[in-house]
Amino acid sequence: MKIVKFTKICCLLVFAIITIALPVIVSAEEPPRNIGYGRGGRMQGGAISPRSREPIKPIPISFDDNRAKTDLGKKLFFEPRLSKSGWITCNSCHNLSTGGADNLPTSIGHKWMLGPINSPTVLNAKFNRAQFWDGRAKDLKEQAKGPIANPMEMASNHDLAVEVLQSIPEYVKLFKAVYGEEKITIDNVADAIAAFEETLTTPNSRFDSWLNGYDDKITAEEKSGYELFKEKGCISCHNGFGVGGNSFEKFGAAKPYDRDTQTLGRYNVTKDERDKYVFKVPLLRNIELTAPYFHDASTWSLSEAVNVMAEYQLGMKLTNDETNKIVAFLKTLTGDQPEVIFPVLPPSNANTPQPNRN
């Protein structure tokens, strides 16, 4: 009887040890699991999606931004006094009500001047390897400085923009709270705008839900479109979180692009002959919202844009059925649009430089 009791006690002890130790061993070998959408392709509760190896990744949701900085950046994004005329804002060309773009062939700048190139969307711009079509800005902070001083856009200059903000006590207070000093600099202005822009992502698209294992979120036609998107070679440039933005490619890789021979693209940055007509690959997230398409805004039709890509980049002609299926897939990439409450901006005073429309 004593032997039986001893055996039972030993078995219970071994079971208890295994029960306690096993999770420790597993957790030591496996990285922590995120809940919700994440970079590991994990679904809610930490399960790994069977589609985690797909070349397109679901947009991760992040809540780790500096709220004071992003709130300041939001005010600056909608601040018309950063422009010479006191009328143009970042939102003028990157309208958050219309897919983060202005839906114009080229943007309208100071004194109604027309820009030289189609404005790309600001939504999901954090996933770009560089900013602007030619990649001349390495990140959003560097990009944010450009339009303020561009004579065809906001037409101000950095010193004047800072002078305007410095004259407004509430801005001085906000900058001090974020950056620790009352002196406002253009670097901090751009940093705050960039911080806000980094929050402008569009998660929860139907395609992202499918990537995370929810089979019923896309139709058979849309899934066929995705398979064609991969089979035809579109995926080689349009992949990752943004479904693009990861590389620079020549427009006219398979056939010289004859619709626009004047815009030289990355060549203007590098002066390397090989970079003529090379552009940053655009993001395809929310593509149905951001017509017209391409750097030259040469088409308003998403179907035509797909056919142009097939002809000039892949050297092939798609059937109408193939085009329709790919377009159907592309529309599944539209995610939740940022819901932004327009900020109330602090008032000017007698010391604030007045707008100049000349």
Given the structure tokens 């979120």, which residue do they identify?
A: 217
User: Would the pLDDT of 185 be above 90?
Assistant: yes
pLDDT at 9: 40
Q: What per-residue confidence (pLDDT) applies to 47?
A: 56
pLDDT at 279 over 60: yes
Cα–Cα distance for residue pair 169/352, rounded to 1 Å: 10
Res 212 pLDDT > 60: yes
pLDDT digits (tens, 9 = 90+) for 131-158: 999 999 999 999 999 999 999 999 999 9
Model confidence at 10, pLDDT cuts 50, 70, 90, reads: very low
pLDDT at 63: 76
- In degrees, to the nearest 5, what angle opens at C-alpha 307 toward C-alphas 301 and 313? 125
Has residue 34 got a pLDDT over 90? no
**Catalytic residue check, 153:** yes
Q: State the catalytic residue, choosing from 79, 153, 197, 198.
A: 153
Q: Which H or E run includes 211?
A: helix 206-211
pTM of this prediction? 0.86
Q: Tell me: pLDDT of 197 over 90.
A: yes
What is the model's pLDDT at position 64?
78
* Nearest residue to 157 (alpha-carbon basis) of 167, 169, 166, 147: 147
Q: Phi/psi at 14 (nearest 5 deg)?
A: -60, -45
pLDDT in the model for residue 50: 76
Q: What is the pLDDT of residue 12?
A: 39
**Which percentage of the chain shows pLDDT scores above 70?**
87
Residue 231: per-residue pLDDT = 98
